[in-house]
Amino acid sequence: MGDVSSCPPLTRSSVQAAHEAIKQHIHRTPTITCDTISHLASTPQSADSLKGTPFEGRTPAKPQISLFFKCENYQKIGAFKARGAFHALSRLSQEELSKGVVTHSSGNHAQALALAARTHGIPAHIVMPTISTPSKIAATKGYGANVIFSGSTSDEREAVVADVIRDTGAILVPPYDHPNIMLGQGTLALELEEQAKDFDARGLDAVVAPCGGGGMLSGVATALYGTGIRVFGSEPSFEGADDAKRGVESGERVEKVKTLTIADGLRTPLGKIPWTVISDPEKVKGMYSVSEEQIKAAMRLLLERAKVFVEPSAAVPLAVILYDENFRSMVEKEGGEQGWKAESS
């Protein structure tokens, strides 16, 4: 997508401009509440539940938390990725659009770019690993994309993408590691900020967002920087999937991740450009990670109590809020009796 130096700056005003550019193409997804889940989040964990965890022996925290949920599972293609794809295409010239677009993805970005390309009436070439799930392959083809199969490693996928670019001149639209993608994903935070005030004029105190490649988290942090709303990131801990957390703690981005966490949308290492935002403690106040069982429990709770079915990656923020004692103790200390109005993206 050209030289990133020509992209808009990573600022709140750029996210606002991105929203203006894409709002005709996306859904303004609902933000909901669930009193039962907020009550559970505000109830101390039992001492027994902390046994075998890093928090064993600690006095369980008792934060006061009122939760909001931004339902991007109701977005076009079923995920927030549509925002970044539509914004990326809105930034291309007519000459660039006429060449078509290409990316490599086994999941939601593949479908998002295919839909955005179809909307603009241009070709989309999607490189997908042969191990991709049949439903995702079918959905991507259903949006009119030319699906090309590759091996499963990043080197194999990138080699096929290079072949497509050489043969067609198509423009590469990366899944997360680009300012235009980040700004597009950040538009969900602008809607959330307004919607939360419809429930309570006080608005939000914090947002907890999932982090894989970092497109959403960095976009949300960019959108909300300067508003007083704190932004936190969440990851699975399984097999080193918490690379962003480890990178922030060490001060150096982790470049490779190999994990089979159930939260398959978060198996990707943090991108170079998202890292510049996420590693800034003024923009992202902290990174937290949770276990596979905690992610499953959060998914189950959302289905049973909020009647919302989400993929595992989307349940990671709620799992942090419910089970991470470091996060919960911080909310108890900083929120006091008034507590926090928090969103689990």
Residues 65 and 124 in one domain: no
Instruction: State the pLDDT at residue 285.
Output: 98
Q: Does residue 199 form part of some domain?
A: no
Q: pLDDT by residue (tens digit) across 217-273?
A: 999 999 999 999 999 999 999 999 999 999 999 999 999 999 999 999 899 899 999
DSSP element (H, E) containing 233: strand 230-236
Whole-number average pLDDT of the chain: 96
Within 13 Å and on the Cβ side, how many CA atoms surround 170? 26
Max CA pair span of the chain? 63
- Among 176, 194, 223, the domain-final residue is 176
Q: In the chain, how many domains are there?
A: 2
Residue 32 phi/psi, 5-degree rounding, is: -120, 165
Q: Does residue 26 form part of some domain?
A: no
Residues 334 and 283 in one domain: yes
Residue 326 phi/psi, 5-degree rounding, is: -65, -45
Secondary structure class of 202 (helix, strand, coil): coil
Q: pLDDT by residue (tens digit) across 156-173?
A: 989 999 999 999 999 999
Q: Does residue 246 form part of some domain?
A: yes
CA distances for 28 relative to 121, 124, 195, 219, 237, angstroms: 23, 25, 10, 17, 31
Q: Does residue 253 form part of some domain?
A: yes
The single residue of 14, 38, 76, 81 carrying the catalytic annotation is 81
The residue length of the chain stands at: 345
For the question of residue 150 being annotated catalytic, the response is: no
What is the value of pTM for the model shown?
A: 0.95
Secondary structure class of 309 (helix, strand, coil): coil
Q: pLDDT by residue (tens digit) across 13-22?
A: 999 999 999 9
Range of the domain at 140: 79-176
Q: Does residue 6 form part of some domain?
A: no
Structure tokens at 264: 């398959």
Residues 138 and 281 in one domain: no
The single residue of 42, 66, 106, 279 carrying the catalytic annotation is 106
Cβ distance 339 to 331 under 8 Å? yes
Instruction: State the pLDDT at residue 2.
Output: 62
| CATH number reported for the structural domain that contains residue 315 in this entry | 3.40.50.1100
Q: Strand 65-70 relative to strand 31-33: parallel, antiparallel, unpaired?
A: antiparallel
Residues 270 and 311 in one domain: yes
Q: Answer yes or no: is pLDDT of 87 > 70.
A: yes
Q: Answer yes or no: is pLDDT of 337 > 90.
A: no
Q: Does residue 181 form part of some domain?
A: no
For the question of residue 106 being annotated catalytic, the response is: yes
The total of other beta-carbon atoms located within 10 Å of residue 52's CB is 8
Residues 132 and 242 in one domain: no
Instruction: State the pLDDT at residue 330.
Output: 97
